[in-house]
Amino acid sequence: MIPPSFDYHAPDTLEEASRLLLANPEAKLLAGGHSLIPMMRFRLAEPAALVDLRKIPGLSGIREDGGSLRIGAMTRESELEKSDLVQSRYPLLADTTRVIADPVVRNLATVGGNVAHADPGNDHPAAMLAYRASFVAAGPSGQRTIAASDFFTGPFSTSLEEGEILTEIRIPEAGPGSGGAYRKFERKVGDYAVAAVAVQLQLDGGRISGAGVALTNVGLTAIQAGAAEAALVGSDGGDAALDAAAEAAAAAADPTDDHRGSADYKRAVVRVLTHRAASSALTRAREAS
């Protein structure tokens, strides 16, 4: 469990970090390190250099601004847990954070790391897809915004370009009638999900006017379940609509057999969790109306 040797950089600016990444194609960004460092200790990842983001100012914080909840990429998971804003207005995000790894990990692990590492087992990607979040990236050619639906391109891969660094996550500001939930089923606390489902709903006059449904760890990336969303939109959130959404989500899942269970089992879990998450999201959206 001892990694090979590597160079370590802790630049003060994003520009310098970006330059270091471009200069060292074998370099990796270090945020909270709670995915990368275990992989290095197993020698599954052997980066020649680490570029640590911790000294760069302005990369963490949680605030509402310009119609968005803005979360700095270096914001620790535990900060989301302690944020009244997140806890009171963004229940899907609050649910998600609480089930990532364990409290010790959450003290250091970052939201940006969880997103940008793009492990299909990570929990934030599905939540971000359900929220219709967007990601701000800074790089050699300046700053740009990427929709969550365009971000996750494969296991451990994203649409970030060489030298680009995720700096901020933007979630549409919670309004009246919005509510969400994340339901994760794990073998034990700290494990990756057998399957997990994120649901974000918007209610309008008692009917669902907008829905985001996304799945964790049942495919090569987090999966946005469009057919499940369609099954909910326009409905009153009755059991028939929830059952239809759950069935559609199960069909959208593309799991494989492994130690967490067979593909059939995981699809069944997606079905159950979709129903439960949607039901909880609905209750919360009604409370927020």
Partner 1 sequence: MAECRGLGHSVQRKEDARFIRGQGRYIDDIKLPGMLYLDIARSPYAHAKITRIHEDTAMAVDGVAAVITGKTLEGFKLAWMPTLMSDQQMVLPVDTVKYQAQEVAAIVATSRYAAADGAAALEVDYDPLPVVVDPHEALKPGATKVRDDKDSNHIFHWEHGDADGTEAALAGCDTVVEQKMHLPRIHVASIETCGCVASWNPVEGHLTLYLTTQAPHAIRTVVALVTAHLGLAEHKIRVISPDIGGGFGGKVPVYPGYVLATAASVVTGKPVKWIEDRSENLSADSFARDYHITATLGSKNGKVTALKLDTVADHGYSDAAANPSKFPAGLYHIATGSYDLENAHVSVDGVYTNKPPGGIAYRCSFRVTEAVHAIERMVDLLARENGEDPADFRLRNFIKPEQFPYQSALGWEYDSGNYGAALEKAMDMIGYQDLRAEQAEKRARGQLMGIGISSFTEIVGAGPSKTFDILGIKMFDSAEIRIHPTGKAIARFGTKSQGQGHETTYAQIIAEELGIPPEDIQVEEGDTDTAPYGLGTYASRSTPTAGAAASIASRKIREKARKIAAHLLEADEADLVWEQGKFHVKGSPDRAKTIQDIAFAAYTNHPQGMEAGLEAISYYDPPNLTFPFGSYICCVDIDRGTGQVKIRRFVAVDDCGVRINPMIVDGQIHGGLTMGIAPALLEEISYDADGNITGGNLMEYLVPTAMETPHWELGETVTPSPHHPIGAKGVGESATVGAPPAVVNAVVDALWHLGVRHMEIPMTPARVWNVLNEHGAAATR
Binding residues vs partner 1 (CB under 8 A): 1-2, 4-5, 42-43, 102, 185, 187-192, 194, 242-243, 246, 259-262, 264-265, 268-269, 271-273, 275-276
The distance of closest approach from Cβ of residue 106 to partner 1 in the complex, given in angstroms and rounded to an integer, is 14
Are 194 and 260 a contacting pair, CB within 8 Å? yes
Name the minimum Å distance from CB 196 to partner 1: 12
Name which of 133 and 281 has its Cβ closer to partner 1: 281
Of 43 and 63, which has the nearer Cβ to partner 1? 43
Q: Which is nearer to partner 1, 73 or 273 (CB)?
A: 273
- Residue 83 — φ and ψ, nearest 5°? -80, 120
User: 130: which residues sit within 8 A by CB, 6+ positions away?
Assistant: 92, 180, 198, 199, 200, 212, 213, 214, 224
The minimum distance between CB 133 and partner 1, in angstroms, equals 28
Write down the least CB distance from residue 225 to partner 1, Å: 16
When the beta carbons of 139 and 237 are compared against partner 1, the nearer one is 237
DSSP assignment letter at 99? T
**Judged by CB, which is closer to partner 1: 150, or 239?**
239
Closest contact distance (angstroms) between CB of 264 and partner 1 is: 8
Alpha helices per DSSP H over the chain = 14-23, 36-41, 77-82, 84-89, 91-98, 103-106, 111-116, 124-131, 148-151, 226-232, 239-252, 263-287
- How many C-beta neighbours within 10 Å does residue 168 have? 24
Cα 158 to the center of its chain, rounded Å? 13
Distance CA 220, CA 154 (A): 6
Q: Is 204 helix (H, G, I), strand (E, B) or coil?
A: strand
Nearer to partner 1, 163 or 255 (CB): 255
| Residue 38: CB minimum distance to partner 1, A | 9
